[in-house]
Amino acid sequence: MPEGDTVWRTAHTLHSALAGQVLARTDFRVPRLATVDLSGRTLLNVTPRGKHLLMRVEGGLTVHSHLGMEGAWRVKANPPGRTSSPGGFGPAHQIRALLATGSHTAAGIRLPVLELLRTAEEFTAVGHLGPDLLGPDWDAAEAERRLLQDPARPLVEALLDQRNLAGIGNVYAAELCFLARTSPWAPVSSLSAPLPARLLTAAKRLLEANKDRVRRRTTNSPRPDRNLAVYGRENRPCYRCGTPVRTGSHGPPDRPRTVWYCPHCQPPHNGESPVDRSNDS
Q: How far is CA 53 from the centre of its chain?
A: 10
Q: Is 214 exposed, middle or buried (0-12, 13-18, 19+ CB in 10 A)?
A: exposed
Tell me how far apart the alpha carbons of residues 59 and 155 are, in angstroms, rounded to a whole number. 43
**Beta-bridge partner residues of 115:** 64
The H-assigned helical ranges of the chain are 4-18, 123-126, 140-147, 155-160, 170-179, 195-210
Tell me how far apart the alpha carbons of residues 147 and 158 are, in angstroms, rounded to a whole number. 6
Q: Which of 153, 226, 257, 277 is catalytic?
A: 257
Please report, as a single letter, which amino acid is at residue 176: L
49 given a catalytic annotation: no
Q: Which of 2, 131, 196, 263 is catalytic?
A: 2
Q: Which of 9, 49, 51, 233 is catalytic?
A: 51
Using alpha carbons, select from 64, 71, 85 the residue that is nearest to residue 127. Answer: 64
272 given a catalytic annotation: no
CA angle 256, 261, 266 (to 5 degrees): 120
29 given a catalytic annotation: no
Tell me how far apart the alpha carbons of residues 79 and 84 are, in angstroms, rounded to a whole number. 8
204 given a catalytic annotation: no
**Kind plus residue range of the DSSP H or E element containing 246:** strand 246-250
Active site residues: 2-3, 51, 257
